[in-house]
Amino acid sequence: MESKKFFTAEELERATSNYADDSILGRGGYGTVYKGVLLDQRVVAIKKSRIIDERQIEQFINEKHRLRIASEAAGTLAYLHSTTSMPIIHRDVKSANILLDENYTTKISDFGASQLVPLDQTQVTTLVQGTLVYLDPEYFHTSQLTENSDVYSFGVVLAKLLTGKKPLCMERSQEERNLATYFIMGIKENRLLQILEPWVVREGTLEQLQAVAAELVKRCLNLTGEERLTMKEVAMEREGLRKFTKHPWVQQQIHEEVMGFMSEASDLYTVSINTSSRGASEQYSLDSPSILPLINNPQ
């Protein structure tokens, strides 16, 4: 069976000669169907949806904004760990629980498993909960929940964003089926450029890739919790996440409202938190089909 293929907006424009009128096959209530010719000369039908609301364009968030969203999510988790009156450990950090509202504000959802940590304690002994492929191995084996457990889970989210791989893939070798292991082994074996998504390699210098991927993500995924970064440290490293969108030819293409949703350092922990993902109006998860380009391989 042929696997799914995702096309960029540029590839679709090229296939249809920039949606030329002589490529139109038909029109419907929801859009226009064009004849397209792919690079391998296959002829396909391409449907271009009709825009009812201009904001719908931004539902299909391109790769340039993925790390931007991850950066804001890091700030939110840092707020929960460091700024609330009593620290909150989310305990189920994963891409499906990172939502975007209609204004593209990042929100952390699903606090059903979250745990308050008394100010005089740094860890809590509790029943292990969470999503297995994102779960901190140290917490899994000891039942000792700490803020570092969220850091590990966030590291898996970052690895997923950078590689476009599923957190668990049975098609990889047995020792690399887990994304965290796959990512760390790729770094140790000097395969960094091979495991990252092409757009990441194109947009970042080798120095930036090593700083973000080989250092930031690697330290989040450390098997020993005490040796991981704190979420506050991850959030302070957010400039590294944003460097991939700093190129001048990218800046001209980013909408003003999207540029604005990353706050400055002075209000690093100004966040919106959604306590439930059910019944949310106009919200999209990082795993939502409506913003499929954000995560190429949703779980």
We report the CATH number of the domain holding residue 213 as 1.10.510.10
- 125: helix, coil or strand? strand
What is the distance between the alpha carbons of residues 177 and 223, in angstroms, rounded to a whole number? 17
In terms of Cα–Cα distance, which of 7, 78, 82 is closest to 45?
7
Per the structure, the count of domains in the chain is: 2
Which amino acid is present at 55?
A: R
Q: Assess whether 34 and 136 both reside in one domain.
A: no
Does residue 243 lie in a domain region? Answer: yes
The answer as to whether 245 is a domain residue is yes
Please check whether residues 134 and 43 belong to one and the same domain: no
140 and 223 assigned to the same domain: yes
130: pLDDT strictly greater than 80: yes
Look at residue 266 and give its three-state secondary structure: helix
251 and 118, same structural domain?
yes
> Is 196 a member of any domain?
yes
**Residue for token pair 């100010």:** 119
pLDDT tens, position by position, 9-19: 888 999 999 99
Do residues 164 and 297 make contact, with C-beta atoms less than 8 angstroms apart? Answer: yes
Instruction: List the domain range (segments joined by +) for residue 14.
Output: 9-50
Global model pTM greater than 0.85: no
Are residues 157 and 124 located together in one domain of the fold? yes
My answer on whether 144 and 31 are in the same domain is no
Tell me: do 76 and 43 sit in the same domain: no
Residues 96 and 231 in one domain: yes
Does residue 269 fall inside a structural domain? yes
d(CA 213, CA 187): 8
Judge if 83 and 127 occupy the same domain.
yes
What is the domain-level CATH number for residue 23? 3.30.200.20
Q: Are residues 45 and 145 in the same domain?
A: no
pLDDT band at residue 37, thresholds of 50, 70 and 90?
very high
Between 159 and 27, the higher pLDDT residue: 159
Which residues, in sequence order, are bridge partners of residue 106?
100
* Whole-number Cα distances in Å, 236 to 51, 96, 137, 156, 266: 38, 24, 25, 18, 11
Cβ–Cβ < 8 Å for 104, 261: yes
Judgement on whether residues 45 and 119 belong to the same structural domain of the protein:
no
User: Do 71 and 201 reside in the same domain of the chain?
Assistant: yes
Q: Which residues are catalytically annotated?
A: 92
Residue 119's pLDDT is 66
Q: Which residues are annotated as a binding site for ATP?
A: 48
Please give the helix or strand (H or E) that residue 156 lies within, else none.
helix 147-163
Binding region: 48
